[in-house]
Structure 1
């Protein structure tokens, strides 16, 4: 993201014109990494992605390491949430970046089908074969050709909580979904609503659905629904929506009720739990919650910002849903060959460990040492993600066409926001999802 990707999808404030000015300024030395001697000395590699704030700052450290190794200058340009529109406009204007960090499988497929991408080099493919579980290469492959290297991953099956709230309520970490709801209601009775829900950001709602669906319906049906091989009106979807409605429809469980949740964005949901004026006990989202709690609100993951795995639903297995950002090389980039060299670097443990040390990062690379991560919580989530191997399932909305699974105010995001507002008719919501999905997959 679900966006963002896998990570918080804060919209970039700059307009396309401002982005062009930023690119010109950095290319002229404003914020570009200075070149030194090396095989790519005198070359500038432009990278576009959704990252802003601390994520952009930490990725720049990775680019700095690449520059030091090769002599290339690097420029990072924020794309905003709609990567597809941004890249399309840049290609049309003759100003395409060399590399794009793509936060959605569906968008990666779209880029490949439109002929925008170069196949990755043999060196990158070999690194992926040896260093990653096959599922990560599968998600970067379209029509048998490997286009996307998954560099940054997210563990999107973590529920974060304030231990002080749990202590005050006399509750412990739940191990089933039913126990999770009971824990939430006990929290509410003690003075804090259970969950801060970022309903303003539709991608967070898709993540709720996906964890419930994967655990309840199982991985085979999850895969089939992700490929739209079964309709969204399937009984399994209605059942998962009914379960999700138990949360959305209970004001004890949703901080501020539905209307409050719909006014809350992702950073705001973390603030409600870990900020100076706490208004909820828990926030469900990916491992990156810990980074926001630390960077924005001074919490220490593993100490006063804790998590537990999203619990199993109705006797199923506990889900492991992931997301990620894939690096791709555009054919139209002015320095695509140098961009390919960047991807060869990103495929190494060395590159991943730069960001791992900075925090707010997980790598799917099996050879990244756990000691490289900034804190014990990051080590635990990284170990869990790698250990899951091919049982990991990628964020379903990120696998869908962007019109259905990745567009603000449309498709699944909008329909689940409507469901948060009124969860009384799961079957009608399923029908709306199917109508939107059928159109998007057909187009």
Structure 2
């Protein structure tokens, strides 16, 4: 997945110096440690607070916000290349092994969730460290709307469809959909596929040449997704507004304008939710429900990982060690919108729920599929296919879903070939 939330946080092309975190180098005698990130706005400020919290360093630190162009960090080497990359696409680590230094054994051997090893360990060698985890199965909603309609958060997929129908009958649009950010659409589909067929999800995630168009379970997941998006009155503002809404716009629809009841939004949306909420007490969350009775709920995970482009420096390695310390991220945890691998304390009520789910035994946990699909899961692949699918079915009734599914599969075949 080329980006996970960068567009909604705003662009920043400027080079940001972490002046408080490094010793001033007024004579320019010591080379800065340059960190390439995809964060901007609130996330960039939160990361700056992490750097400031590291105390006095013996070298200057510069943060380079690359946004959706983070992949350029692995371009042709120059004197100004980054020393550290906070990579929002861990699925790309294996593709860039020749460009990366391995992590020191003392860092590589630290405990982490199993799913990270599949992405960060190549040939028995660790090339990246988890820094920021993203829980992509969270749904934020306004409890006052549910109470007004006499509804409870859904326990199963069928309950969710019924909740949406009941809200629509009350004249309340159930969903704000940020279709302007294609990754939101892939998050929706990934949760449905993982919840309905974990084996099919897993097979696509690890395939050398994945072909989702040939998977009956993938087609079935599209039909399920179509059953929600096609329901008349389901989408706030209809397809037209959904297509131009980016992530913050959808959150504003729910908590600011109050024109929708809920929005699929990862943990990193927390500061945005609270900044937009007209009523701070009217905020709640549920996680994506199981698709079938008696099955586990899906938990789709993304994240940002630390990697070291070759050749590394001692200063860069020192900074990686400091950032990898568990307490280093405390300022961001306090600011909100941050989950750390394996950490379950120090969060808000909503994020505590998500953090607990990430470590709970028996959880149906898998990494972001669109990331693992590479270009097939990106803007000219699955993003575009799902955008076209939404246009064909959104608010238009279930009769159009079968034809839209076939059209989506046809589009995927062209991308796969």
Give TM-score, length-normalised by structure 2. 0.89
Cα distance in structure 2, aligned partners of 1:60 and 1:176: 40
Of 251, 254, 257, the match for 2:238: 257
| Other-structure match for 1:359 | 336
Give the drift of 1:134. Answer: 2.4
1:305 paired residue number: 283
- Distance 1:417-1:143 versus aligned 2 partners, 3 A rule: farther
Report how far residue 291 of structure 1 moved.
2.3
Q: Is the 8 A contact 2:7 2:246 kept in 1?
A: no
Residue 53 of structure 1 and its aligned partner are, at CA, apart by 1.1
Instruction: Name 2:308's counterpart in structure 1.
Output: 329
Moved more, 207-216 or 338-347: 338-347
Query: For the structure 1 residues 390 and 317, does the alpha-carbon distance in structure 2 shift closer, same or farther, using more than 3 Å as the test?
Result: closer
SS at match of 1:95: coil
Deviation at 1:251, TM superposition (A): 3.1
Aligned counterparts of 1:265 and 1:344: Cα–Cα separation in 2: 35
Contact 1:42 1:71 in 2 (8 A): no
CA shift, 1:110, in A, is 2.5
Residue 93 of structure 1 and its aligned partner are, at CA, apart by: 4.4
- 1:345 alignment partner in structure 2: 322
3-state SS of 1:226 partner: helix
- 1:99 is matched with 84
Equivalent residue number for residue 156 of structure 2: 176
Distance in 2 separating the partners of 1:318 and 1:392: 9
| 1:76 match | 63
Aligned to 1:420: 390
How much does 1:75 deviate? Answer: 1.5
Q: Is the 8 A contact 1:149 1:327 kept in 2?
A: yes
CA–CA separation in structure 2 for the residues paired with 1:62 and 1:193? 39
Secondary structure, in 3 states, of the residue corresponding to 1:82?
Answer: helix
What is residue 52 of structure 2 aligned with on the other side? 64
Alignment correspondent of 1:242:
223
Under a length normalisation based on structure 1, what TM-score does the superposition of the two structures give?
0.84
1:111 lines up with 2:96 in the alignment: yes
Provide the secondary structure at the position in 2 that maps to 1:422.
Answer: helix
Shift of 1:258: 1.6
Q: CA RMSD in A?
A: 2.4
Task: Tell whether the 8 Å contact from 2:21 to 2:57 is kept in structure 1 after alignment.
Answer: no
Deviation at 1:162, TM superposition (A): 0.8
SS in 1 for 2:140: strand
- Look up the match of 1:4: 3
Q: Which runs of 5+ in 2 are unaligned?
A: 394-400
Could you tell me whether the CA contact under 8 Å between 1:237 and 1:430 is conserved in 2? no
Is the aligned partner of 1:314 residue 2:286? no
Q: 1:61 to 1:389 in 2, by over 3 A?
A: farther
Whether the aligned pair in 2 keeps the contact of 1:10 and 1:52 (CA below 8 Å) is no
Q: Supply the distance in 1 between the matched residues of 2:150 and 2:363 (Cα, whole angstroms).
A: 37
How much has 1:369 moved relative to structure 2?
Answer: 5.5
Which residue does the alignment assign to 1:399?
A: 372
Taking the aligned partners of 1:258 and 1:369, their CA distance within structure 2 comes to 38
Partner secondary structure for residue 268 of structure 1: helix
Separation in 1, partners of 2:88, 2:306: 9
Pick which of 180-189 and 248-257 moved more.
248-257
Residues 22-70 of structure 1: CA distance to partner in whole angstroms, max 9, x if unpaired?
33xx55xxx5334249xxx95522111111111111111111223x164
Change (3 A) 1:389 1:117: farther
Q: Distance in 1 between matches of 2:34 and 2:277?
A: 32
Deviation at 1:194, TM superposition (A): 0.7
2:131 equivalent to 1:151? yes
